[in-house]
Amino acid sequence: MKLLIPCFLLISVFGIAQESEKRGTIKIEKSNCVRLDNNDSVYAFVDQMPEFRGGQDSLSAWITKNVKYPSPSVEEYATPKVFASFVVKKDGSIGSINILKGNNSLYENEVLRLLKLMPDWIPGRCNGTLADVKINLPIKFGLK
């Protein structure tokens, strides 16, 4: 008799599990994608973030090769830093360029010029689908 009780409990639990399968279950899939705004089609973060072709080292090399330093300014010995944002579109092109923070308009204008010249990126993907993704990029100017 003592042996029958554990077997009965096991069969009961198994029967309940089968019952819930018959009724159906809801499968909730988590997405690692975060939109900027509920009504916006631009993402702040996606499963596969956009990437400059060749990676971060190639991006740094491209900026170094293409930057034109503004004429010496009052802050000649300072190292200006400009924070910019842009959207890498589904086709890899760059759009919606903005300066988020900067303290020297000469350097801010140079960052705008660079971003307008920038080649296409490898676009981002959300759940395997191409997506528009906003990128924030700090650009630090060093002395020549």
Considering the chain, what is the average pLDDT of its residues? 78
Alpha carbon of 139 to those of 46, 56, 97: distances in Å? 23, 13, 14
Average pLDDT over residues 112-118: 95
Average pLDDT over residues 74-91: 82
Structural domain tally of the chain?
1
Average pLDDT over residues 75-104: 87
The string of pLDDT tens digits covering residues 23-69 is 555 443 467 888 887 657 899 999 999 999 999 999 999 998 998 88
Task: Assess if residue 22 is contained within a domain.
Answer: no
Task: Assess if residue 35 is contained within a domain.
Answer: yes
Task: Assess if residue 11 is contained within a domain.
Answer: no
Between strands 129-140 and 124-126, the pairing is antiparallel
Phi-psi region of 121 (alpha: psi -120 to 50; beta: other; left: phi over 0): beta
* 102 phi/psi in degrees, rounded to 5: -170, 160
Average pLDDT over residues 58-85: 80
Task: Assess if residue 17 is contained within a domain.
Answer: no
Task: Assess if residue 89 is contained within a domain.
Answer: yes
Query: What CATH number did the domain enclosing 100 receive?
Result: 3.30.2420.10
- The parent domain of residue 75 ranges over 30-140
Rounded-to-integer distance, Cα 11 and Cα 5, Å: 10
Provide the percentage of residues in the chain whose pLDDT is more than 70.
Answer: 71
